[in-house]
Structure 1
């Protein structure tokens, strides 16, 4: 890790992408800031306003955090790519993605940080479905998640139980990769193929999540089939792109 040599600090950036999360984002930031971490962990919070149409930006500006205000709506992938580029440019050791709607309890943060701090993983994904505690999502979303688990196993031989989880942590090696490219529209399931083909160590850990505390999900039952088809195409595109790149490298 790229730690501060004078005091051995591990610099961690908690990235919270937000679109119309005025009802929940202040509480999320406050809960992260109130956590007690080991002295060697230097935690910053970066909230990203993805061109919200409500008062999300104003709430961020009044909260104890860094923030980015995107000039156009980039979607979850674009917002997270901006956050990861920020983390890489400013030399953070670990970046954590955390939802702004309150689904990811701040007290669960250490569970996804610990494998990276122990050098056991490059990517850590918080999963609802290992111990099956807490909010388990809707039936249609669980069907989609099971399908993506099968697809990931087929393509890269890795089983991820909760491939749509937006509660995840990356080390510096992973940040170097996502600084250059990160899927833009539905990045969570698509990026697993990217990580697997990049030979990153992926670890899934059980976490307890909540129902969203405000705002509205962009994926509902009516859009579930559309979502599955579109994400499948995105996953196949990344797979073909990276396999082709690898073949060109060795030919």
Structure 2
């Protein structure tokens, strides 16, 4: 069963020379790309390494990346998720671990060995870097911090996880785990989709503390637009994988409404022995019966979806 753990002191693995690591970096006009690629190559110098830059720049980013030793793959479409889909399709067939990171120098490439260590040691299929553990001042504004924590809280609640940073862009996956994941979103919700699908497939998910620095270059995240898309994705995934969670929530809200509206009716009957608010009584009864029915429908839908999933 999938779980989430915080590994405060991961040790560098002993199988370094036998592993092939693929690092994917999506870029769009990144002034720091040379440093990011150089640091990643140096950090992984004891591994069999390939660095793939998926580029959609109009400046000299691809030239710098290629000069630093990266494989540059052009991105013809748009979107964060699409960039990684292009990168995943370019990974060598014999890769063991795939690392995802940004090209704006917010992540410390020298922490890649720490990020992949839980996978190397057989403790995880997916490892996420928790930016909040060692975040430099000014690296994330208050709006993005609150939005991240809100999205992470929703994912934790709906999927029974204990993540601290679900939106991190610094993560590593076992190649066999990556091949098993089914991700379709082209935009920023891709990051959440990966975690949700990994959880649904009972993969082991862990977090490690990482450094998070101020970016070099222009920010690509559109907080309000991307945040709303992420919440939309979460709702769709719950609908498709765990409809009972939605129906149960709605049903409980209806039942709570019936209890609140019916409390006066009950109070009046207990103290005066009569009921004068007939409309309120009917409303309370309808809300209560509606809540029970919604929960029942959710339970039935969950049974049907589970049965269909087992058939596959």
Q: TM-score range by the shorter chain?
A: 0.7 to 0.9
The answer on 1:48 being equivalent to 2:54 is yes
Partner residue in 2 for 1:26: 34
Partner residue in 1 for 2:159: 156
Partner residue in 2 for 1:228: 227
Q: Is contact 1:155-1:193 (8 Å) kept?
A: no
The answer on 1:250 being equivalent to 2:299 is no
Q: Is contact 1:96-1:168 (8 Å) kept?
A: yes
Partner residue in 2 for 1:85: 89
More helix by share: 2
The answer on 1:75 being equivalent to 2:74 is no
CA distance 1:8–1:247, shift in 2 (3 Å):
farther
- Deviation of 1:33 after TM superposition, in Å, equals 1.6
Gaps of 5+ in 2: 1-15, 243-301
CA distance 1:155–1:57, shift in 2 (3 Å):
same
Q: Is contact 2:106-2:214 (8 Å) kept?
A: yes
Q: Note the alpha carbon deviations across 1:13-46, whole angstroms, 9 max, x for none.
A: 011111111x111111111122255x4x312111
SS at match of 1:137: coil
Q: How many residues are aligned here?
A: 233
Supply the distance in 2 between the matched residues of 1:247 and 1:45 (Cα, whole angstroms): 42
Partner residue in 2 for 1:142: 145
- Deviation of 1:110 after TM superposition, in Å, equals 1.3
The CA RMSD measured in Å over matched residues stands at: 2.2
Instruction: List 4+ stretches of structure 1 deviating above 6 A.
Output: none
CA distance 1:8–1:109, shift in 2 (3 Å):
closer
- Deviation of 1:182 after TM superposition, in Å, equals 4.4
Q: Is contact 2:43-2:113 (8 Å) kept?
A: no
Supply the distance in 2 between the matched residues of 1:238 and 1:197 (Cα, whole angstroms): 10
Worse-superposed segment, 131-140 or 26-35: 131-140
Partner residue in 1 for 2:238: 239
Counterpart pick for 2:20 among 11, 36, 39: 11
Supply the distance in 1 between the matched residues of 2:89 and 2:142 (Cα, whole angstroms): 35
Whose RCO is larger (CA < 8 A, sep 6+)? 1
CA distance 1:197–1:52, shift in 2 (3 Å):
same
Gaps of 5+ in 1: 1-6
SS at match of 2:219: coil
Q: Is contact 2:96-2:174 (8 Å) kept?
A: yes
**TM-score, structure 2 as length reference:** 0.69
**TM-score, structure 1 as length reference:** 0.85
